[in-house]
């Protein structure tokens, strides 16, 4: 099992094209940890904003009566991928990993695969 800091470091080191990562509590909008980003891209602000995305999707699923679990949510921009991976299991209830990828340097399928492996090892 890996702690938050180790998992965030592994995301940046092992996922091709990763430029930033955060562990986020979507009940409060607070980032529990961030790594990467830049002066022009504040991960804490992005993490807080993406809590609205997660909440909206959960509300929509509830209104539609959908019983499945959200694995991840993908937002594609012209030059970036934003991947939101909800943490499964009892220790991660209410948390998600937010990963920012450079679209030109990343393989989205491999990034999703690697992020799933990291999420499974995360101990919060």
Give me the pLDDT at residue 124, please: 79
Residue 71: how many CB atoms within 10 A of its CB? 12
Q: How confident is the model over 9-27, as a mean pLDDT?
A: 96
38 pLDDT more than 90: no
Give me the pLDDT at residue 91, please: 60
Give me the pLDDT at residue 28, please: 92
Count of alpha carbons within 13 Å of 108, Cβ hemisphere only?
14
Q: How confident is the model over 33-50, as a mean pLDDT?
A: 91
DSSP code per residue over 53-100? HHHHHHHHHHHHT--PPP-EEEEE-SSEEEEEEEPPSGGGTTEEEEEE
- What's 34's DSSP letter? E
Residue ranges of domains in the chain: 4-121
Please state which architecture CATH assigns to domain 4-121: 2-Layer Sandwich (3.30)
* Better-predicted residue by pLDDT, 89 or 58: 58
* Contact of 106 with 83, CB cutoff 8 Å: no
The terminus-to-terminus CA distance of the chain in angstroms comes to: 9
Measured CA to CA, the distance from residue 46 to residue 114 in angstroms comes to: 22
Q: What is the pLDDT of residues 69-109, one digit of tens each?
A: 899 999 999 999 999 999 986 566 899 999 999 999 999 99
34 pLDDT more than 70: yes
Q: How confident is the model over 44-62, as a mean pLDDT?
A: 94
Give me the pLDDT at residue 88, please: 81
Give me the pLDDT at residue 2, please: 82
Calculate the average pLDDT of the chain.
92
* Contact of 38 with 120, CB cutoff 8 Å: no
Measured CA to CA, the distance from residue 123 to residue 109 in angstroms comes to: 24
């Amino acid at each position: 099992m890996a702690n938050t800091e180790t998992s965030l470091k592994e995301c940046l080191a092992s996922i091709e094209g990763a430029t930033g990562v955060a562990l986020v509590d979507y009940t409060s909008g607070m980032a529990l940890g961030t790594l990467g980003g830049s002066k022009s891209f504040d991960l804490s602000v992005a993490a807080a904003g993406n809590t609205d995305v997660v909440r909206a999707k959960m509300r929509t699923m509830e209104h539609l009566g959908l019983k499945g679990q959200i694995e991840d949510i993908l937002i594609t921009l012209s030059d970036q991928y934003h991947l939101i991976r909800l943490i499964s299991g009892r220790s991660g209830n209410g948390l998600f990993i937010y990963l920012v990828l450079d679209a030109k340097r990343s393989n989205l399928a491999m990034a999703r695969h690697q992020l799933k492996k990291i999420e499974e090892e995360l101990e919060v």
